[in-house]
Homo-oligomer: A and B are copies of this chain.
Amino acid sequence: MALIVQKYGGSSVATPELIRQVAKRAIDTHKKGHQVVVVLSAMKGETDRLLALAHDMVREPEAREVDQLIATGEIASVALFALACQALGEKAKSFTGFQAGIQTDEMHQRARITGLDPARVRTELAKGRVVAVAGFQGLNEARDITTLGRGGSDTTAVALAVALGADTCEIYTDVDGIYTTDPHICESARRMEKISFEEMLELSSLGAKVMEIRSVEFAMNYNMKIHVRHAHQPGGGTLICEEDSDMEKKPVTGVAYSKNEARITLTKVADQPGIAAKIMGIISKSGIVVDMIIQNQSAEIDPALGQPLTDISFTVPLSDYARAMEMMEGTAAEVKAARIVGTDNIAKISLVGVGMRNHAGVASQMFQTLANEGINISLISTSEIKISCIIEKKYTELAVRALHDAFGLGQATTDA
| Chain A residues proximal to chain B, CB less than 8 Å | 16, 19-20, 50, 53-54, 56-59, 61-62, 64-66, 68-69, 71-72, 75-76, 78-80, 82-84, 86-87, 93-94, 96, 99, 120, 143-145
**With A99-B143, A143-B99 as given contacts, are A65 and B83 in contact (CB-CB < 8 Å)?**
yes
B16, B54, B66: the one contacting A56 at CB < 8 Å is B16
Shortest 3 CB-CB contacts between residues of A and residues of B: A72-B72, A58-B87, A69-B79
> Within the assembled complex, what's the spacing in Å between the Cα atoms of A68 and B99?
11
Most chain B CB neighbours (cut-off 10 Å) among A20, A58, A78, A79: A79
- Closest CB-CB distance, A228 to chain B, in whole Å? 28
Interface residue from B53, B61, B62, B99 paired with A16 (Cβ < 8 Å):
B53
B69:A84 contact, CB within 8 angstroms:
no
Q: In the complex where A58-B87, A76-B72, A143-B120 touch, is A65 in contact with B53 (Cβ < 8 A)? A: no
Write out the residue numbers on chain B whose beta carbons fall within 8 Å of the beta carbon of A80: 53-54, 57, 65, 69
Question: Please, which residue of chain B has its CB at the minimum distance from the CB of A144?
Answer: B99
A83 contacts which of B19, B20, B62, B120 (Cβ < 8 Å)? B62
Known: A57-B84, A57-B87, A58-B84. A79 touches B65 (CB 8 A): yes
In the assembled complex, the Cα of A19 lies from the Cα of B61 at a distance in Å of: 15
A8 to chain B, nearest CB (A): 16
Q: Please indicate the chain B residues that have their CB under 8 angstroms from the CB of A87 in the complex.
A: 57-59
Shortest A80–chain B CB gap in Å is: 6
Minimal beta-carbon separation of A89 from chain B (angstroms):
10
Whether B86 contacts A16 by the Cβ 8 Å rule is no
B96 touches A68 (CB 8 A): yes
Give every chain B residue within 8 A of A84 (Cβ-Cβ): 57-58
- Please state if A82 and B65 are interface contacts (CB–CB under 8 Å): yes
A222 and B244 CA atoms in complex are apart in Å by 70
Interface of A is mostly: helix
Chain B residues closer than 8 Å to A93, beta-carbon distance? 64
Q: How many copies does the complex hold?
A: 2
B83 touches A61 (CB 8 A): yes
* Bound Cα distance A251, B382 (Å): 91
Inter-subunit contact B75/A62 (CB<8 Å) = no
Q: How far is the CA of A79 from the CA of B86 in the complex (A)?
A: 31
Give complex CA distance A81, B53 in Å: 11
Report the minimum CB–CB distance from A349 to chain B (whole Å): 42
Complex formed: what's the CA distance from A69 to B80 in Å? 7
Contact residues in B for A96 (Cβ distance below 8 Å): 68, 145
Decide if B86 touches A76 in the complex (CB within 8 Å).
Answer: no
A20, B78: Cα distance in complex, Å: 31
Chain B proximity of A11: nearest CB distance (Å): 18
In the assembled complex, the CB of A211 is this many whole angstroms from the nearest CB of chain B, namely: 28
> Judging by beta carbons under 8 Å apart, are A68 and B79 in contact?
yes
Cβ B69 vs Cβ A76 within 8 A: yes
Q: Tell me which residues across on chain B come within 8 A of A54, comparing CB atoms.
A: 79-80, 83
Which of A19, A20, A56, A83 is most buried by chain B, counting CB atoms within 10 A of its CB? A83
Q: Are B83 and A75 interface neighbours, CB within 8 A?
A: no
Asked whether A68 lies within 8 Å of B86 as measured between CB atoms, the reply is no
Residues of B within 8 A of A61 (CB): 83, 86
Contact A57 B94 (CB under 8 A): no
Docked Cα-Cα span, A71 to B98, in Å, equals 15
24 contacts between A and B (CB under 8 A): A16-B56, A16-B57, A20-B57, A53-B76, A54-B80, A57-B83, A57-B86, A58-B83, A58-B86, A58-B87, A61-B86, A62-B82, A65-B80, A65-B82, A65-B83, A65-B86, A68-B78, A68-B79, A68-B96, A69-B75, A69-B79, A71-B75, A72-B75, A72-B76
- CA separation between A266 and B58, bound complex, in Å? 63
CA distance A363 to B335 in the complex (A): 96
A66–chain B nearest beta-carbon distance, Å: 7
Known pairs A58-B86, A68-B82, A72-B72; list 17 more (Cβ under 8 Å).
A16-B56, A19-B57, A20-B57, A53-B76, A54-B83, A57-B83, A57-B84, A58-B84, A61-B83, A62-B83, A62-B86, A65-B79, A65-B86, A66-B83, A68-B75, A72-B76, A99-B143
